[in-house]
Amino acid sequence: MKCPQCLTENNVSATKCVVCEQVLNAPRPKPVRYMSFYAEYFAFRELVTPQLIKVIYFVGACFITAGGLLSILSPDALDDYMAGPIFTRLGGIAALVMGNLVWRIMCEGAILLFSLHELLVSIDTRAGLLVRQGKRIEP
């Protein structure tokens, strides 16, 4: 531990400086704060929407895939649309490929928004920790 007056390095258990006899104050340990899931949840620091979007993506992808396979395998079931079986099969292939791709991009965009929130929260937490430690924050 350094003496604040003469900057001499002293023993950690020392109460006075060995050179100038300045009284040394031992650094107080900072209390550890544990945050529970519910505290984080109700403070909106822990978001449930990204997990919910993943479930919604899975369900939507299943429906898109089932619709595309239905169009490919049984075009006669879709005779009400007055499109021939070739167009129905091509539409099914397009639904399988493009429908799932567009659905994935939409869900990734929604998750990206929430990931930005989590990133900003972590930056805020780290900046607050640095301020409490007395370190300078560079932009």
Whether residue 33 is contained in a domain is answered as no
Whether residue 79 is contained in a domain is answered as yes
Scan for tokens 């107080």, then name that residue. 28
Residue 100, φ and ψ in degrees, nearest 5: -65, -35
Cα(first)–Cα(last) distance of the chain, in Å?
31
Whether residue 71 is contained in a domain is answered as yes
Q: Report the range of poorest mean pLDDT among 20-24, 99-103, 111-115.
A: 20-24
pTM, to two decimals:
0.54
Whether residue 9 is contained in a domain is answered as no
Structural domain harbouring 72: 47-133
pLDDT tens, 62-82? 999 998 888 888 766 555 556
Band of pLDDT at residue 59, cut at 50, 70 and 90? very high
pLDDT tens, 108-119? 999 888 888 778
Whether residue 83 is contained in a domain is answered as yes
Total of domains in the chain: 1
How many other CB atoms sit within 10 Å of the CB of residue 90?
Answer: 15
**Share above pLDDT 90 across residues of the chain, in percent, rounded to a whole number:** 22
Whether residue 70 is contained in a domain is answered as yes
Whether residue 17 is contained in a domain is answered as no
pLDDT for residue 34 is more than 60: no
Whether residue 10 is contained in a domain is answered as no
